[in-house]
Chains A and B, each alone.
Chain A
Amino acid sequence: MTTDEKITPSQNGLSSIIKQTFDLVLIPFLAVVTALIIGGFIIVVTDAAVYTAFGEGGIGGGLAAIWTSVSVAYGSMFSGSLGSARDISESLVASTPYIFAGLAVAVGFRGGMFNIGVEGQLLLAVMASVYVGSNFSLPWIIHLPLTILAGMVAGAAWAALAGYLKAKTGAHEVINTIMMNYIVYLFSDWALNGFLCRTPCSSPVSPPVLESAFLPQFFYRLHFGFFLALIVAFAVWWLLFKTTIGFEIRTVGTNPNAARYGGIQTTKVMVLTMAISGALAGLAGASELLGVNRVLAAGFSSGYGFDAIALALLGRSHPLGVVLAALLFGTLRSGATRMQSLANIPTDIISIIQALVIVFIAAPAIIRWIYRIKAKGAEEGGGVMVQGWGS
């Protein structure tokens, strides 16, 4: 994949490094900016006050109302995400599951696997973690790692199954992982009304995780899962770019036939890629459970796994890029609360902005066309995405 070389250039001079980094960052940056602008248009168009102002105050009043509408919206979003220590803490809290989940999808992309099942793997992991976390009384030094591990194993096993099906039977992982999501959703419904329900079972909510399995919060709600996420991101980078396994994963991702010809056991690598991806998805769920929520109830995750696809695309499937993209998305999500409470804008606007970012990243030609940027090579941008679908 050409993008790898651009991020870790070695022989080229400094100026070309800067130029390449610029190219790499420019499209995602413009995609985000453009999405925010279009989001602004949507805010204005759906704001009744703007129409009233145009009616009463003419063009001048209308433009003023547009200005107020957008500035109050994005102003409250900004103050709600970065305005105070507590708000910054909340933004980092929101970013944490995004980092893990984004890494999960990114690893899949690198290995040529489009893991749409992160959502399901995450939920299954939370179920495993909440079971271990609430049922066993152990000293924290054992309990906490064990609970996290339970989540990772559950996520890894569930994802590896899809990888195995792909490797052995050719069943496409996109289809499999989507379908396997539904199995987990319904399984969790059943479990929450059965063995995972608290006693007495008056509503489908799990018992709380015991304190010995908590990821401690230290800065308002910010918990150690955030640092774990950064460490894991570094570990994923190291695994992908500094180890033999990582080389094999990337080779299979680029061209499985060539990889096989080159002596790589593609079957093994496919299953392994999915297992790593699933384990990361599991970490997303476990850290969210043990750091913030501490119980499992319906609506635990409303789309971390799907937002993660956007994150991986935005971050060019590079761990550093994913971390930055996750921080951005977490900040947007977190700011949405204030935007809702002050500017009366539904949090759904954030989903629209995220969706627009995906569109622009997946089709960089739109961004190039809008901003008149010359294409450097056909392989840039879309390459990662295409790899996931082939073979």
Chain B
Amino acid sequence: MKKQMFLLVAVLAVLAMVAAQCGGSAPKPTEAKKESPKEEVKKEEVKPVASGHKYAQVTDTGGVDDKGFNQLAWGGMKLAQEKLGVEVKVLESKQQTDYEKNINELVNQKYDGIVTVGFLLADATKAASLANPNLKIAIVDFPSQTPTDMGLLFSVDQPSFEAGYLAAALSKSGTVCTFGGIKIPPVTAFMVGFESGVNYYNEKKSGKIKLLGWKTDGTKEGGGEGSFTGNFENLDDGRNYAEGFFDEGCDIIMPVAGPVGLGSAAAAKDRGFKIIGVDSDGFVTAPEYKSIYLTSALKNIDVAVFSAVEQMEKGTFKGGTNYVGTLQNGGVGLASFHDNASMVSKELQDELKAIEKGIIDGSVSTGWPVK
């Protein structure tokens, strides 16, 4: 009896599978794709005006829940869904071959616009843009490469400048420090901004705050000299570099090296020092160290992605240009002080606001790009 039941269930299940496959293959792909979006629209009908337009994001191999760029970008897509009434979708890439395949899949399904994330997709984005001149495509964290694609870039030197000023104002030992992962412009931009912020503080307050780990020098290759771990992975390096700087008297550190910074956060926690995060809000992304994070210099990728989709939707999208996230448009910014808000006096907050205004109107220079 039991045996027969088993067989019956197995056979039924197999039949179901076969039927499912046949059923799916009978309508042409174009028809099949019409079906499911409709269902989704139904579910989302509570939303304001459904425009019926479809936008999609293609992730790199990190996947959509990478607690990083891909996730932030997806946040921007979802914001677009909410505010613009468009339909959004994400395709995750498992390996390098998937980039081109995923983009083509979306092109063939006549998506109204595509957002790709990160330099890993740069070549695939360029190829797709050249092959489909009418395609609206934007790439996060990479400049425009063709007359029809858009780059989403971030002036990270601006929030770093504020972070530098803040660190200088709050340092008890009189020494702050920074180090980078690899000496490439996306990293050094943070360090240059940070240094300029410290210098600006010294200038304004005739202070003598020392910065370790970076020295801008236009005559040097890469715009200056500084400390670099040579990778973006090794947490031990993050700890070792931080310990080294702490031994030299530094009490606030800004590591610009991705996850390496978590090693520095651990060291700062042990010693009772503070750290400044980069890219995303360390208080949120690394909750085990939350009160160690004084603040973070943010790349608001969600804001940039939303802006790109909004431009595509409203017909103001212009290929061959770059969206540049600034303090003015909210594409970059300084994170909230969270647990450390009591350390930042009202006076200091006003100074930071004045600096922000100065950077926006151009009266304060962040020193980037290095001349």
A37 CA to B36 CA, complexed, in Å = 22
What number of B residues sit within 8 Å (CB to CB) of A?
54
Identify whether the interface residues of A are mostly helix, strand, loop, or mixed. Answer: helix
B102 contacts A by Cβ under 8 Å: yes
Q: Is B206 an interface residue (CB 8 A)?
A: no
Is residue A75 within 8 Å, beta carbon to beta carbon, of the partner chain?
yes
The chain B residue sitting closest to A185, CB to CB, is: B233
Determine whether A299 belongs to the interface, using a CB cutoff of 8 Å to chain B. yes
Per-residue CB contact flags for chain A residues 211-238 toward chain B (1 = under 8 Å, else 0) read 0000000000100000000000000000
Q: How far does the Cβ of B163 sit from chain A's closest Cβ, in whole Å?
A: 23
Q: Is B32 an interface residue (CB 8 A)?
A: yes
Residues in A78-92 with C-beta less than 8 Å from chain B? 78-80, 82-84, 86-87, 90
**With contact pairs A33-B17, A202-B186, A337-B98 given, residues A298 and B120 touching in the complex (Cβ less than 8 Å):** yes
Within 301-343 of A, Cβ neighbours of B (below 8 Å) are at 301-304, 333-334, 337-338, 340-343
Determine if B185 and A202 form an interchain contact, defined as CB atoms under 8 angstroms apart.
Answer: yes
Q: State whether the Cβ of A372 lies closer than 8 Å to any Cβ in chain B.
A: yes
Given A76-B24, A372-B7: A205 and B95 within 8 A (CB)? no
Stretch at the interface among A242-250, A288-296, A356-364: A288-296
Judge whether A221 and B100 touch: CB under 8 Å.
Answer: yes
Are A372 and B3 in touch, CB under 8 angstroms?
Answer: yes
Binds A, one of B86-94, B241-249, B337-345: B86-94
B182 contacts which chain A residues (CB < 8 A)? 193, 204
Considering the chains assembled together, what is the distance between the CA atoms of A344 and B93 in angstroms?
A: 14
Given the known inter-chain contacts A74-B17, A208-B123, please indicate yes or no for A190 contacting B231, CB distance below 8 A: yes
Chain A interface bracket (under 10, 10 to 19, 20 to 34, 35 or more): 35 or more
* Any A CB within 8 A of the CB of B106: yes
- Which residues from chain B contact A210 at a C-beta distance below 8 Å? none
User: Which of A75, A208, A347: most chain B Cβ within 10 A?
Assistant: A75
CA distance A75 to B95 in the complex (A): 23
Contact across chains for B95 and A342 when beta carbons are under 8 A apart: no
Instruction: Pick the contact of B109: A208, A298, A341 (CB < 8 A).
Output: A341
Instruction: Assess whether A74 is in contact with B21, with CB atoms less than 8 Å apart.
Output: yes
Given A189-B233, A205-B120, A346-B92, A78-B97 contact (CB < 8 Å) = no
Nearest A residue (CB) for B26 = A75
B25 contacts chain A at the CB level, 8 A cutoff: yes
B residues contacting A by CB (< 8 A) are 3, 6-7, 10, 13-14, 16-17, 19-21, 23-25, 28-29, 32-33, 35-36, 43, 56, 60-62, 89, 91-98, 100-102, 104-106, 108-109, 119-120, 122-123, 142, 182, 184-186, 230-231, 233
Residues of A with Cβ closer than 8 Å to B? 33, 36-37, 40, 49, 67, 70-80, 82-84, 86-87, 90, 93-94, 186, 189-190, 193, 201-205, 208, 221, 288, 292-293, 295, 297-304, 333-334, 337-338, 340-344, 346-347, 370-372
Q: Which 10 pairs, one residue from A and one from B, show the smallest C-beta to C-beta distance?
A: A75-B24, A299-B61, A203-B119, A71-B20, A302-B95, A74-B20, A37-B13, A78-B21, A293-B96, A300-B96
